[in-house]
Amino acid sequence: MTTTFSYETPSQEDIQVFPMSLAQEGLWFLAQLEPARAASIIPLALRLRGLLDVQALERSLHLIVQRHEALRTTFGMRQGQPVQVIAPPLALPLSLRDLRGLPEGEPEAEVLRLARAPFDLQQGPLLRATVLQGGAQEQLLLLSLHPLVCDGWSVGVFLRELATLYEACSNGQPSPLPELPMQYADFARWQRERLSGGLLAESLAYWRQQLAGSPAGVDLPTDRPRLPVPTVRGATYGLRLPRALTAALKELSRQQGVTLYMSLVAAFQTLLYRYSGQEDVVLGSTTAGRRRAEVQAVIGLVENTLVLRTDLSGNPSFAELLGRVRAVILGAQGHEELPFEALVKALHPTRALGQNPLFQVRLRLAAAPPALPAGWMLAQMEVETGTSPFDLTLDLEDGPDGLSSRFEYSTDLFDEASIARMAGHWQTLLEGVVADPTRRLADLPLLTEQERCQLLVEWNATQVEYPQEQCLHQLFEAQVERSPEAVAVVCEEHHLTYHELNARANQLARHLQELGVMPETLVALLMERSMNFVAAILAVFKAGGAFLPLDPQHPVGRHSQILQQSGCQLVLTTDKYGSTLAEALVEIDGSQRPQVIDIETLLQKRAAGENLPLRSVPGNLAYIMYTSGSTGAPKGVMVEQLGMVNHIYAKIADLALNREDRVAQNGPPCFDIVVWQCLAALLVGGCVYVFKDEIAHDPMRLLEQIEEKKITILQAVPSILRAVVQQAEMLNEERPRLANLRWAVPTGDALSAELCRQWLKLYPAIPLLNTYGSTECSDDQCHYAIDQPPSLDYPLPIMPIGRPIQNMQTYILDHHLMPVPIGVIGDLYIGGRGVGRGYLHDAQRTAEVFLPDAFAQQPGSRLYKTRDRARYLPDGNIEFLGRSDNLIKVHGVRIEPGEIEALLERHPVVREAVVMARETKGGNKYLAAYVVPGQDQVPTSEELRSWLREKLPESMVPSTFMLLDTLPLNANGKIDRRALPTPELSRSTAEDSYVAPVLLLHHQLVQIWEELLGVRPIGITDDFFEVGGDSLLAVRLFERMAQVCGKKLPLSTLFAGATIEQLARALQGETKTDSRAPLVVVQAGGSRRPFFFLHGQWRGGALYSLELSRYLGPDQPFYLLEPYKFESLAVPPTLEAIAAAHIESLRSVQPEGPYLLGGWCNGGLLAYEMARQLHAQGQAVDLLVLMDSDAPAPKYKWDRRIIVGLGNLLRLSQEKQVDWFLAYRYLRLSFHYWRLNKLKHAGTTKRDELEPGVADEVSPQLDA
């Protein structure tokens, strides 16, 4: 049953209109802008035991409403101004609701429904009263007030007056309350007068100084990123502190000469400091604002918001912090009369929609409740409005059962479990504070014992047995015994069995020992990834030494720098890199120069193929990897056999590697993944498949080869994996099915949730193993398996890195090496078997990041400080959150900007330089350099690029250079990297170099470029490589152009000019396309004779040729002769005819000799034939370079024997016999390419329709 006592709406003649107070104005405006944000309600619940005089209660409420104008106020607009409208005295409607007889649970639900009912600010009333009958002599008076007409102090006034008036009305007596000295409207007018009169100027000056340069908020770790437009959805979590702890806090406050409120503020700011790492903490709080006696009896919104900014730097003790907080609070209270709204208006802080100005975290301590009559008790009323106007609010209330802590939090940002943990940390921290207030803030306990055990012990219980007493080559030799005839390694059409690989490694090892290699001896390897590269690694191990890989793609200066710094005395290489090494060694003193050994020469020498006696132990050095160094020089990371073998066995376990597996070896020699890629399969009887760079870097070919070669394990950096996905998406149903691939292993960079979704949509049966690791700890330290696509509302932007692998430990610590709670961001440290020795010849840097392991049981254990930021997720997996220093990764390559900066600053006309990673809108990372030139000269971008390319790999050369007058500095005088301008990649020179698109085709290409590169605007004369493009993006560009424009150009078209204007001409057919032997200009300028090069890649492309042309210098003209086009030919041409066609193209540029010719692979065969024809025509050929040209190989031994036999019978010279073989070899391959094109046009391309042995050679064309 419900009864309502109603009231009449006042007439317009009786109302009064006044301006709102500043606090009312701000809250009202918020209610108009975001109604949900201002939907909070002040609920009061009074338990009334005994017989209730309803009429006396109604009369009492009427008298209170009559007495206080604020309780009969509504709000609206008059003449364009927000006003408060005061109605004449009227009776408050009192509802009676009988809850007796309702089903279980419904009474509570009804109470919450009544309490949550919204208010109408224009119609009112903004006070509701309901009596809920629960028993014969048990009632609940439910009062709801809107914050516009009430505050915390007002609640006490209301309850005291209600008790007094009820007693008087029950006894038939008049109101004993004195007249109010002022009403709320008087307070609002007085407040505005003080502001307009400038009486608060001193307070404003104080706040300006106090908040100058203050942070915008507390950077708390959240469960989800902040929404672009936050909502006010919220929830609460409650915790009551024990009575004993509450009493101890009060006693501590008394001893330290502070109030309980000050102690609680200090403790909460300590918690925020420990969660965020911020030493400058800004907290919102409230003050009653009732210092004037005449305001103390007024009901209304008088309280003011204070901003409490505390300096927690220096890791003070809690007692010392109390002194700082006391000073801050007293200073704030001394200037509390300046309304918060006026402060915000004066300071103009940066604001965002849905966020409070100046602070995002608030603490409030409720005033003590007033004394109430016997039988009356104020009940705890938790009304969930489902809103939170701040990120986090801690509401505290002291009661007889202890201090109540109520956390109100934004559900946009936090999960309940995170807030529940925070509440536990709050109690643990307070217990630590009262136990010893002299402890420093970083030493105060935060973790519960259960959480500490979970973080340090349970989640690091990774102990697994593995053959730790053996070195890798011993384990390999044992596998050779088990499967001697199984194929161990494959590269292109060649392979070695386990027995053959072991014999070759033993042969090399014996020679290395003769050259002085023993345990701890360093042997540098400068060679392409190949079967011999794998054999060389094993040979170095067998000889007892450690290998140091050098990347053939790196410049000579880099090789020289590494060899000099490492002190390496032996370099194992091939003929191909002899001249490169000779140039590198020129810069090294004769006595320090290493001995250069040709691996092919060693293999031609006789040596026993049996296993060697064991010379090394697991504690010996296995390899040194050089990574980018912050001091301007690369640093050599030392890894031992023990850690290397542990990591390899972790890969074997987590990928379930077995003898049926074929592991792709596609990582560069200096990328630490090369170690397990080359060696893991060899311990289980599997096969290592080495992919050359031209396949490893071409997503389309890589995708085809994974399918063709039946690869089961593929590891790739996310940028390569993304390109593979895009290729597969474009092929749609015609994409390779990768039926044999069991795992894809992303590495080297953050893995996005979107890329996971794309991959698993295309290949739902092929899971991903996300990996994380530091070279300093034997490659990977964490694995995370992903077999289901993350949901669209997945809260993390990148996928977790998982948990530590076997026998490794992970710790997330604060700056004082204390474990941080779950969800809190800290620095990631690595412990366990894989921790390396440190940096070669660099004890100082080693000591900085290799620290004693305080958590390990074994003496002498060390932790590696990764300088990566991370946090534990509730399930124990780790989320990677970037770097704490400036180290960056681009396409998986680890780069220290300091190394590039130091080299730039050595340039004669550069005064200062800063390098940092940037990201285009398309998600492509690139390096940007900011340069302050000297006074006399201004360097060009090309000058700086050339300068860097002499010493650095191409991956470390910035894509863009910005010239600045000065570098921005922060308040501490350090370079402010955040203030550096974002470079406009599309403007490589001056702004007026932009040329707008003219043709429709121009506009199409501009759109493709801008979408791919994430750069706008792009002009038609902008160079692809200057606006952020690279070889990987070039492949994607040409695939997209083929989709949109319907015409597929060879990738080498870029060499003729990497601009939209030139690509448009090529698409329109302005370039010479009628020739079957097209010629591409890579570099036309220069005074020297041109060099003509046949790159040998039948699919076109050959991006390596661009690098080759750069090494030859700007004065060397460079032309590519593209592979012969077989399309639409009924019969394939002869070798002589193909060479003649190329000569015709060559002579269109250079009619007469002498000529400079070169060719790679099959291109070398043609170059040889061209040189022969030119010589026969009387033309001189001064240079003929044959690179990796096909020679009589084992697979053609019968063909070769037939030709040799026939040649001997006809008494042909050996030179003529070679001519015959090369002609046969080339024609054979040409015929199959011609036939393949015929089959493709007929739609019947099948591998088994080609002659055995040829399919492997033309496999890039199969299924294309």
DSSP string, 1037-1049: HHHHHHHHHS-PP
Q: How far apart are CA 428 and CA 441, in angstroms?
A: 13
| Secondary structure (3-state) at 502 | helix
Is 1006 in contact with 942 (CB distance < 8 Å)?
A: no
- On whether both 948 and 996 belong to a single domain, the answer is no
Residue 1000 host element (H or E): helix 1000-1013
- Label the pairing between strands 621-627 and 687-690: unpaired
DSSP alpha helices (H): ranges in 906-999? 941-949
> pLDDT confidence of 1202, banded at 50, 70, 90?
low
- On whether both 87 and 51 belong to a single domain, the answer is yes
pLDDT of residue 1205: 53
* Per-residue CA distances from 1200 to 270, 1188, 1194 (Å): 82, 19, 9
Place of tokens 């010629």: 1079
- Mean pLDDT value across residues 1166-1186: 91
pLDDT of residue 477: 98
> pLDDT confidence of 475, banded at 50, 70, 90?
very high
pLDDT of residue 1: 39
In total, the chain counts a number of residues equal to 1264
pLDDT of residue 379: 81
- Per mean pLDDT, which range of 320-334, 810-824, 975-989, 1163-1177 is the poorest? 975-989
Place of tokens 């999960």: 415
Q: At what angle do helices 1031-1045 and 718-731 cross, to 10 degrees?
A: 20
Residue pLDDT, tens place only, 709-733 = 999 999 998 888 888 888 888 888 8
pLDDT of residue 1128: 65
Q: How far apart are CA 613 and CA 118, in angstroms?
A: 86
Q: Is a pLDDT exceeding 90 seen at residue 1066?
A: no
Q: How far apart are CA 23 and CA 1056, in angstroms?
A: 69
Identify which of 386, 381, 344, 385 has the alpha carbon closest to the alpha carbon of residue 366: 381
Q: How far apart are CA 1008 and CA 560, in angstroms?
A: 41
Residue 898 host element (H or E): helix 897-905
Domain end (from 1071, 1090, 1112): 1071
Domains held by the chain: number: 4
- On whether both 153 and 221 belong to a single domain, the answer is no
List, in sequence order, every beta strand (DSSP E) within 1044-1175. 1079-1083, 1091-1094, 1118-1121, 1155-1160
Domain assignment present for residue 567? The answer is: no
- Give the domain CATH number at 152: 3.30.559.10
- Give phi and psi for 817, each to the nearest 5: 60, 30
Q: Is a pLDDT exceeding 70 seen at residue 1247?
A: no
Q: Is a pLDDT exceeding 80 seen at residue 5?
A: no
Share of the chain above pLDDT 70, in %: 86
Place of tokens 């101004």: 81
Report which listed range, 255-269, 335-349, 600-614, 1160-1174, is most confident: 255-269
pLDDT of residue 976: 80
- Return the C-alpha torsion angle 939, 943, 944, 947, nearest 10: -130
Q: How far apart are CA 1002 and CA 741, in angstroms?
A: 40
Domain residues for the domain of 180 are 2-186
pLDDT of residue 1201: 53
- Per mean pLDDT, which range of 361-365, 370-374, 531-535, 616-620 is the poorest? 370-374
Report which listed range, 292-306, 903-917, 1193-1207, is most confident: 292-306
- Give phi and psi for 1242, each to the nearest 5: -85, -10
- On whether both 123 and 49 belong to a single domain, the answer is yes
pLDDT of residue 170: 94
Q: Is a pLDDT exceeding 80 seen at residue 1029?
A: no
CB atoms within 10 A of CB 686: 24
Question: How does DSSP classify residue 662?
Answer: E
Question: How does DSSP classify residue 349?
Answer: -
- On whether both 918 and 1050 belong to a single domain, the answer is no
pLDDT of residue 404: 94
Is 723 in contact with 692 (CB distance < 8 Å)?
A: no
Residue pLDDT, tens place only, 659-680 = 999 999 999 999 999 999 999 9
pLDDT of residue 1228: 56
- Mean pLDDT value across residues 57-72: 95
DSSP alpha helices (H): ranges in 655-772? 673-679, 693-696, 699-708, 718-731, 753-762
Q: Is a pLDDT exceeding 50 seen at residue 504?
A: yes
Domain assignment present for residue 439? The answer is: yes
Domain assignment present for residue 1234? The answer is: no
Domain end (from 400, 415, 446): 446
pLDDT of residue 1264: 32
Q: How far apart are CA 1080 and CA 1057, in angstroms?
A: 10
Place of tokens 């009231």: 7
Identify which of 56, 86, 54 has the alpha carbon closest to the alpha carbon of residue 71: 86
Q: At what angle do helices 941-949 and 897-905 cross, to 10 degrees?
A: 110
- On whether both 325 and 207 belong to a single domain, the answer is yes
Residue pLDDT, tens place only, 900-926 = 887 888 888 888 888 888 877 656 678
| Secondary structure (3-state) at 512 | helix
Residue pLDDT, tens place only, 1112-1128 = 877 788 888 877 776 66
- Give phi and psi for 1096, each to the nearest 5: 80, 0
- Mean pLDDT value across residues 481-507: 97
Which amino acid makes up residue 376? W
Please indicate whether residue 1220 or residue 438 has the higher confidence score (pLDDT). Answer: 438
| Secondary structure (3-state) at 723 | helix
Q: What's the predicted TM-score (pTM) here?
A: 0.74
pLDDT of residue 1078: 75
- On whether both 932 and 1055 belong to a single domain, the answer is no
Is 1220 in contact with 1201 (CB distance < 8 Å)?
A: no
- On whether both 176 and 213 belong to a single domain, the answer is no
Question: How does DSSP classify residue 656?
Answer: T
| Secondary structure (3-state) at 134 | strand
Domain assignment present for residue 265? The answer is: yes
Place of tokens 């450690």: 546
Domain assignment present for residue 342? The answer is: yes
Is 403 in contact with 430 (CB distance < 8 Å)?
A: no
Please indicate whether residue 1188 or residue 85 has the higher confidence score (pLDDT). Answer: 85
pLDDT of residue 1000: 64
DSSP-derived secondary structure for 263-316: HHHHHHHHHHHHHH--SEEEEEEEE----SGGGTT--SS--EEEEEEEE-TT--
Q: How far apart are CA 644 and CA 1045, in angstroms?
A: 50
DSSP-derived secondary structure for 571-632: EEE-GGGHHHHHHHHTTS-GGGPPEEEEHHHHHHS----SPPPP---TTSEEEEEEE--TTS
> pLDDT confidence of 1073, banded at 50, 70, 90?
very low
Exposure of 317 by Cβ count < 10 A (0-12 exposed, 13-18 middle, 19+ buried)?
A: middle
Identify which of 1223, 1230, 1257 has the alpha carbon closest to the alpha carbon of residue 1132: 1230
* Per-residue CA distances from 137 to 44, 53, 94 (Å): 20, 11, 19
Structure tokens at 1032: 């990987």
pLDDT of residue 1191: 47
* CA-based R_g, the chain, Å: 39
- Give the domain CATH number at 956: 3.30.300.30
Please indicate whether residue 693 or residue 850 has the higher confidence score (pLDDT). Answer: 850
Max alpha carbon distance in the chain (Å)? 141
Question: How does DSSP classify residue 430?
Answer: H
Supply angle C-alpha 259, 265, 266, rounded to 5: 95
CB atoms within 10 A of CB 991: 7
First to last CA, the chain: 80
Q: Which residues of 858-870 are buried (b: 16+ CB within 10 A; e: fewer)?
A: eeebbbbbbbbbb
Is 687 in contact with 661 (CB distance < 8 Å)?
A: yes
Q: How far apart are CA 825 and CA 1008, in angstroms?
A: 39
Is 1189 in contact with 1157 (CB distance < 8 Å)?
A: no
Q: How far apart are CA 45 and CA 49, in angstroms?
A: 13
Please list the helix, strand and coil fractions of the chain in percent, rounded to the nearest 5, in that order. Answer: 40, 20, 40
772: alpha, beta or left, given left = phi > 0 and alpha = psi -120 to 50?
A: beta
- Return the C-alpha torsion angle 654, 659, 660, 663, nearest 10: 60
Please indicate whether residue 630 or residue 79 has the higher confidence score (pLDDT). Answer: 79
Average pLDDT taken over every residue of the chain: 85
| Secondary structure (3-state) at 17 | strand
Whether the link from the prior residue into 1017 is cis, omega within 30° of 0, is yes
Q: How far apart are CA 270 and CA 277, in angstroms?
A: 10
pLDDT of residue 952: 82
Q: How far apart are CA 393 and CA 408, in angstroms?
A: 5
CB atoms within 10 A of CB 1195: 14
Identify which of 328, 279, 276 has the alpha carbon closest to the alpha carbon of residue 307: 328
- Give the domain CATH number at 239: 3.30.559.30
- On whether both 21 and 118 belong to a single domain, the answer is yes
Domain assignment present for residue 722? The answer is: no
Q: How far does CA 239 lie from the centroid of its chain? A: 35
Identify which of 696, 660, 658, 702 has the alpha carbon closest to the alpha carbon of residue 680: 658
pLDDT of residue 624: 98
- On whether both 273 and 418 belong to a single domain, the answer is yes
Domain assignment present for residue 1167? The answer is: no
- On whether both 969 and 1037 belong to a single domain, the answer is no
Please indicate whether residue 1184 or residue 101 has the higher confidence score (pLDDT). Answer: 1184
Domain end (from 949, 983, 1017): 983
pLDDT of residue 34: 66
> pLDDT confidence of 857, banded at 50, 70, 90?
confident
Domain assignment present for residue 1026? The answer is: yes
- On whether both 219 and 76 belong to a single domain, the answer is no
Q: How many CA atoms lie within 13 A of 551 on its CB side?
A: 22
